[in-house]
Amino acid sequence: MPRTKGQKLAIALPLIVVLCSAWIVAENWLTRGTLNTSYLIMGAIALVLLWINIHETRE
């Protein structure tokens, strides 16, 4: 069965919160968030969101 919008939202919201928290923690932990670290973290988040989007469209 395909997921409803409510189910997708229930999955996406905690994931977004976890990603934002991980970003903040990683920036504080990895040399106070240099430019390279920030770009690396943003790229990782973008790849995760892209992967989720691709898998949702396949269903």
Give the model confidence (pLDDT) of 15-59 as tens digits. Answer: 788 777 777 777 776 656 566 666 777 778 888 887 887 777 765
Write down the domain spans for the chain. 20-58
For residue 14, name the pLDDT band (cuts at 50, 70, 90). confident
Write out the two tokens for 18: 């976890």
Q: In the block, which residue shows the tokens 């189910």?
A: 7
Give the closest residue to 27 by CA, choosing from 39, 17, 15. 39
Question: How far, in Å, CA of 31 to CA of 40, rounded?
Answer: 13
pLDDT value of residue 46: 81
Q: In the block, which residue shows the tokens 């409803």?
A: 4
